[in-house]
Structure 1
Amino acid sequence: MDDAVTVLRRAGAKITVQPASLPVDIATNHHKAFSPLLFGAGDRTGLAPAPSAATLARFVQHPRGDAGPALRGTFQSHFHWLQAHMVRNEIRQ
């Protein structure tokens, strides 16, 4: 590959060499960014007590399940949503 880069540079091409690995851990950061964005995307004006109580009950029964991120995402602040959005943009770049 170095030979091809050298040949192209001599021909006048501008080449930017990217690192072999990504600067972010996509597996970890994607999950941290995905849940708040997914669960925070809904409109809270029609939020009914029954589904929220059911999600809370599911969280109490299975604290490590998907109900915890759902509750946190549903009731998160805009600041926390923006933090997840910044992580998503970092992964995208």
Structure 2
Amino acid sequence: MRHISARPEQSSFPNTLTERHPLFSYAGRCAADLWLQGAPLSMADFRDLRFRCLVSGDTSFAGDPARRQAFDDAFARQIASSIASRSRVEGRRHA
């Protein structure tokens, strides 16, 4: 029989990459914020550089595609979120 938790929003196993690798997701969001502040590299080059710096001390992380995907997804989501929120603010100013 399947166990149904009293609090279904708290699953026993992490479902998303963000839940399984919160450090890498957090680092991806921070990297996106830094890039948005005016990094002199392209978005992809900056993202890749920040990931390499993050895993430089431990080579076991570098070859882990799930951690890389968590970082990349968080980076992209943060960029998109920032663009959307800035668009809303600009839209309100012109309305």
TM-score under structure 2 length normalisation: 0.34
The higher radius of gyration belongs to 1
Higher RCO, 1 vs 2 (CA within 8 Å, ≥6 residues apart): 1
TM-score w.r.t. structure 1 length? 0.35
